[in-house]
């Protein structure tokens, strides 16, 4: 199974180094010298293999050189590519508070008081925080209000206090305006 471990940012210098936004808590493991990563555009097109040739931290940014990217021009063309690696589908991150996207997608979402909301359909990574995309009014929920719409929930402990992979569900602490629109005065 392929998982995204980083996103290529800006070119750095003239030798083809790139800043990489890690999407893993184990960048030293995922970006070791000689590791081959699959690089694709966010829309899934243009897949190619990149081999890590250098790795260093500079001012709290991860800078990586790839054998296939020899200069700044090639580096600028690689901006925005998503970097993926193969993992065992049964593998889990070492930290019990961390999850791979594929582990969260498909989970049933419930409020902390047990009301079913819908299903997690995507995990969106932003520079500030990760968001869970939840399709409300799933066929199993029986809910008729707010049927079949998407809500985005910040994936933080205060709003998602419990994730139970074995049970196939997670809990969301509902707040005014989070799951249902605020009523206008």
Q: What is the pLDDT of residues 123-156, one digit of tens each?
A: 998 878 899 999 997 544 444 454 688 999 999 9
76 and 20 in a single domain? The answer is yes
* Mean pLDDT value of segment 75-102: 86
Residue 95 has pLDDT above 60, yes or no: yes
User: What CA–CA distance (Å, rounded) separates 17 from 61?
Assistant: 12
Full-model pTM:
0.69
CATH of the domain at 151: 2.30.30.240
114 and 76 in a single domain? The answer is no
Considering only residues 177 and 35, tell me which one the structure prediction assigns the higher pLDDT.
35
CATH of the domain at 65: 2.40.30.60
CA dihedral 162, 166, 169, 172 (to 10 degrees): 0
82 and 109 in a single domain? The answer is no
Share of residues in the chain with pLDDT > 90 (%):
62
Range of the domain at 139: 101-172
Kindly report which listed range (72-76, 90-94, 122-126) carries the lowest average pLDDT score.
90-94
Considering only residues 179 and 78, tell me which one the structure prediction assigns the higher pLDDT.
78
For the ranges 15-29, 52-66, 146-160, the one whose mean pLDDT is highest? 52-66
Final residue of a structural domain among 86, 120, 152 = 86
Element (H, E) at 171: strand 169-172
In a domain, 178, yes or no: no
14 and 66 in a single domain? The answer is yes
Residue 169 has pLDDT above 50, yes or no: yes
Quote the pLDDT of residue 46. 84
The mean pLDDT value of the chain amounts to 88
Considering only residues 97 and 55, tell me which one the structure prediction assigns the higher pLDDT.
55
In a domain, 92, yes or no: no
Q: Answer for the pair 153, 160: CB distance below 8 angstroms, yes or no.
A: yes
In a domain, 181, yes or no: no
Element (H, E) at 119: strand 116-125
10 and 76 in a single domain? The answer is yes
> What contacts 24+ positions apart, CB below 8 Å, involve 144-153?
145/180, 146/179, 146/180, 150/121, 151/117, 151/118, 151/178, 151/179, 152/124, 153/109, 153/178, 153/179
Name the domain count of the chain.
2
* Mean pLDDT value of segment 155-179: 94
Residue 185 has pLDDT above 90, yes or no: no
Kindly report which listed range (3-12, 47-56, 86-95, 163-172) carries the lowest average pLDDT score.
86-95
């Amino acid at each position: 199974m392929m998982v995204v471990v980083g996103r290529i940012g800006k070119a750095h210098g003239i030798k083809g180094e790139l800043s990489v936004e890690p999407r893993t808590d184990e960048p030293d493991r995922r970006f070791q010298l000689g590791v081959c990563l699959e690089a694709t555009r966010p829309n899934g097109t243009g897949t190619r293999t990149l081999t890590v040739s250098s790795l260093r931290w500079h001012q709290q940014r991860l800078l990586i050189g790839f054998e296939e990217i020899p200069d700044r021009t090639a580096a600028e063309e690689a901006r925005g590519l998503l970097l993926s690696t193969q993992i065992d589908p049964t593998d889990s991150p070492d930290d019990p508070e961390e999850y791979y996207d594929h582990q969260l997608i498909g989970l049933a979402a419930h409020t902390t008081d047990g009301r079913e909301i819908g299903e997690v359909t995507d995990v969106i990574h932003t520079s500030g925080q990760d968001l869970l995309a939840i399709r409300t009014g799933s066929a199993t929920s029986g809910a008729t209000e707010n049927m079949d719409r998407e809500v985005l929930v910040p994936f933080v402990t205060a709003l998602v206090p419990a994730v139970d992979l074995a049970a196939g569900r997670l809990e969301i602490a509902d707040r005014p305006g989070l799951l249902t629109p605020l009523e206008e005065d």
